[in-house]
Chains A and B, each alone.
Chain A
Amino acid sequence: MKLKLISAIGLAALLAACADDQANQGAATGSGDMSGQQQVATGPAPGTEADLVANVGDRVFFGLNQSGLSSDAKTTLDKQADWLAKYPQVAVQLAGNCDDRGTEEFNLALGQRRANAARDYLVAKGTASSRITTISNGKDQPTAAGEGEDVWAQNRNAITSVQ
């Protein structure tokens, strides 16, 4: 009980410290606004995951049971390759995902096939393979909830994330 109380006090102190940091940042940029609006005005820090998502596109999509790259997918991956060339210190993970219209193990193989297809494209465009890891989530980590072709199409993807 005592331990819990102490950690609760510790947590409160930590939260207070964070609030102070935000306040200091706000003061440094000439704004007392702590709501986070400041972020939108300046955009995400270059070379970060948020930058990748907002300005490049972090994912490409696939057809049903397919792993071929569409022209849209290639356009996105071209931009990712350029972005990776600009930030050579960044390492990324490519996660292959599937809709839930397949079984657990087959989808693990299919997700890996998708991740590898995206990786091979980035490598062909000049990204060092040592900067890319891959993983398949199969159908276990859908990004969109629900059923129907619109949802399934969103869940058939390869998502690039900064490691």
Chain B
Amino acid sequence: MMTRLNTEGYLSDGEAEQLASAFSRRALLGSGLAGAAVMATPLSAFAAGSAPAAEITVDKARSEPIPIVIPSFGGTIGNQITSVLTSDLNNTGLFKVISGSPGSGMPDLSSYKSMGARAAVSGAATGEGSVRVEFRLWDVLSQQQIQGTAYSTTAANWRRIAHIIGDVIYQRLLGEKGYFDTRIAFVTRSGSMKQPVMRLAIMDQDGANYRQLSTGQTKLPSFNPVRDQIAFLSYASARPRVMLFDLQSGRQRILGDFSGVPLGPHFSPDGGTIIVPVARGSGSELYSVSVASGAARQITSTGGAINVSPSFSPNGSQIAFTSDRGGSPALYVMSASGGAARRISYGSGNYEETCWSPRGDLIAFTKVGSGGFSLGVMNTDGSGERIMTQGYSVESPTFCPNGRVLAFCSSGGAGSRSSIGTVDITGFHERMIPLSMSAISPTWSPRNV
């Protein structure tokens, strides 16, 4: 019945169930975890027959957001879920959510069609201590159900259900995995200007569930792309050290022992390697460090140049990084194991940060010029440079797992509060994540597991 929809990039009910039941392997043990277990079971379709494959693509949705009807799921938690789901979808700029009349039965798709809607959701939330949410997604034009799933979890965990449903809608209608059920780790800054207190913190990608994770001076966190682990540079006792923080247990350990001063750690896509710039003399050279053993191998040797901000290509074979070996800071690409580096940035200004897209096609960068900071993307050969956003300080680009959105930190002026924002790689839909504290150095988590 669903087979025609299960073409390239689409999620079957079975896959959705598998995806969601993976969540159930995890209990809420420590702070900063994605949340408690969520169970998913498929719901049978109300209407039989085969539905046509959705022909809407992300690129088309850019110019024409997909009108989708989302009614309240009923009750307090149902209203909250609808609200979070609506924000998730609207914030992408790829959907235009239309509110509809509540009800878990067969929606009036004909009237939705006449309203111009392309898709519709129906759902109901029941229960208090533990909540069960039934969710169905409908193709308005063909009048077919294209997804039906019931999710169960603790009531306190309702936000994850909203994000998971949002990700299912995103994938079903756009053919790409979503990123709503993810988190962003970052550093909070408080205290005085001269003696700042800098702490590791985490939040959901929409700014909810903020939690402080550590009590020591922290800089430059990097989320492990495959595990619930964050590497960061500890400045506790004025001694820079690379730490690995395990979110499940709350434990941390020191990684590596460097003859020099380590700077920010940067994870490989498989989570097995971290590249750390180590400052010594006038420069800083890149070291490839095994997460398992801490063994380090020097991969640049530039005799006094600064080499920082490495980021891996998605298959882990190459890195992009910043170096001032040519005089001023510019972007380079080389094999992740070292060797010759190829310069890819030639524009004016200092190119100081890199973040290689998980899609593989783009490298995000921060450029500092006389007019301020610019955050942009370029192709991996350096061509096609585009600026996404500019400001007094706009830096630390980090991609969401599907590579469609960048998070960054932004400050309107010296000493003013720094905020974390997001922008689509097309340069549209820039928005700031509501946070009540000054925040820098964001690093996007993988999809929650």
Interface residues of A (CB under 8 A from B): 65, 67, 93, 100-106, 108-110, 112-113, 116-117, 134-136, 138, 140-143, 145-147, 151
A104-B219, A104-B441, A143-B194 are contacts. A109–B279 as well, Cβ < 8 Å? yes
Residue of B nearest to A95 (CB): B238
**B440 adjacent to A141 (CB under 8 Å):** no
Closest approach, in angstroms, between the C-beta of A30 and any C-beta of chain B?
Answer: 37
**A105 adjacent to B414 (CB under 8 Å):** no
0/1 string, B234-250, CB within 8 A of A gives 1: 00001010000000000
Please measure, in the bound complex, the distance between the C-alpha atom of A67 and the C-alpha atom of B366, giving whole angstroms. 22
Closest approach, in angstroms, between the C-beta of A66 and any C-beta of chain B?
Answer: 11
**A105 adjacent to B238 (CB under 8 Å):** no
* B396 contacts across to A, CB distance below 8 A: 103-104
Closest approach, in angstroms, between the C-beta of B259 and any C-beta of chain A?
Answer: 14
Interface pairs A-B: 4 shortest CB-CB: A112-B279, A103-B352, A106-B352, A109-B306
**B195 adjacent to A141 (CB under 8 Å):** yes
Closest approach, in angstroms, between the C-beta of B231 and any C-beta of chain A?
Answer: 13
**B194 adjacent to A105 (CB under 8 Å):** no
* A136 contacts across to B, CB distance below 8 A: 240, 261, 279
Q: Using a CB-CB cutoff of 8 Å, which residues 317-331 of chain B contact chain A? A: 322, 328-329
The number of chain B residues touching the other chain, given as a range, is 35 or more
Please tell me which stretch of B35-43, B124-132, B280-288, B424-432 contacts chain A, meaning at least 4 of its Cβ atoms lie within 8 angstroms of it.
B280-288
Residue of A nearest to B187 (CB): A104
* B220 contacts across to A, CB distance below 8 A: 104-105, 108
**B309 adjacent to A105 (CB under 8 Å):** yes
A–B complex contacts, Cβ < 8 Å, 20 sampled: A65-B328, A102-B350, A102-B368, A103-B395, A104-B219, A106-B322, A108-B219, A108-B220, A108-B233, A108-B308, A112-B261, A112-B279, A113-B282, A116-B279, A134-B261, A136-B240, A141-B195, A142-B193, A143-B194, A151-B414
**A140 adjacent to B219 (CB under 8 Å):** yes
Please measure, in the bound complex, the distance between the C-alpha atom of A134 and the C-alpha atom of B281, giving whole angstroms. 11
**B263 adjacent to A105 (CB under 8 Å):** yes
Residue of A nearest to B414 (CB): A147
Across the interface, A105 reaches (CB within 8 A) one of B281, B353, B373, B413, namely B353
Residue of B nearest to A114 (CB): B282
* A113 contacts across to B, CB distance below 8 A: 279, 282-283, 306
Please measure, in the bound complex, the distance between the C-alpha atom of A93 and the C-alpha atom of B282, giving whole angstroms. 17
Residue of B nearest to A151 (CB): B414
**A146 adjacent to B282 (CB under 8 Å):** no
Across the interface, B368 reaches (CB within 8 A) one of A67, A103, A140, A151, namely A103
Main SS at interface, chain B = strand
* B277 contacts across to A, CB distance below 8 A: 105, 109
0/1 string, B281-320, CB within 8 A of A gives 1: 1111000000000000000000000101100000000000
Residue of B nearest to A112 (CB): B279
**B308 adjacent to A109 (CB under 8 Å):** yes
Closest approach, in angstroms, between the C-beta of A153 and any C-beta of chain B?
Answer: 13
Please measure, in the bound complex, the distance between the C-alpha atom of A117 and the C-alpha atom of B281, giving whole angstroms. 8
* A117 contacts across to B, CB distance below 8 A: 282
Closest approach, in angstroms, between the C-beta of A157 and any C-beta of chain B?
Answer: 13
Across the interface, A112 reaches (CB within 8 A) one of B238, B284, B329, namely B284
Closest approach, in angstroms, between the C-beta of A47 and any C-beta of chain B?
Answer: 22
**B240 adjacent to A106 (CB under 8 Å):** no
Residue of B nearest to A133 (CB): B238
**B440 adjacent to A104 (CB under 8 Å):** yes
Across the interface, B308 reaches (CB within 8 A) one of A93, A105, A145, namely A105
Please measure, in the bound complex, the distance between the C-alpha atom of A141 and the C-alpha atom of B280, giving whole angstroms. 21
Cβ of B196 under 8 Å from chain A: yes
A109-B308, A113-B282, A113-B283 are contacts. A145–B415 as well, Cβ < 8 Å? yes
* B306 contacts across to A, CB distance below 8 A: 106, 109-110, 113
0/1 string, B260-285, CB within 8 A of A gives 1: 01011000000000000101111110
**B329 adjacent to A106 (CB under 8 Å):** yes
Across the interface, B413 reaches (CB within 8 A) one of A101, A102, A147, namely A147
**A65 adjacent to B279 (CB under 8 Å):** no
Please measure, in the bound complex, the distance between the C-alpha atom of A151 and the C-alpha atom of B261, giving whole angstroms. 27
* A112 contacts across to B, CB distance below 8 A: 261, 279, 284
Across the interface, B393 reaches (CB within 8 A) one of A93, A100, A140, A151, namely A100
Cβ of B11 under 8 Å from chain A: no
Please measure, in the bound complex, the distance between the C-alpha atom of A143 and the C-alpha atom of B193, giving whole angstroms. 8
* A101 contacts across to B, CB distance below 8 A: 368
* B352 contacts across to A, CB distance below 8 A: 102-103, 105-106
Please measure, in the bound complex, the distance between the C-alpha atom of A20 and the C-alpha atom of B194, giving whole angstroms. 32
* A145 contacts across to B, CB distance below 8 A: 193, 414-415
Closest approach, in angstroms, between the C-beta of B184 and any C-beta of chain A?
Answer: 16
Closest approach, in angstroms, between the C-beta of A3 and any C-beta of chain B?
Answer: 22
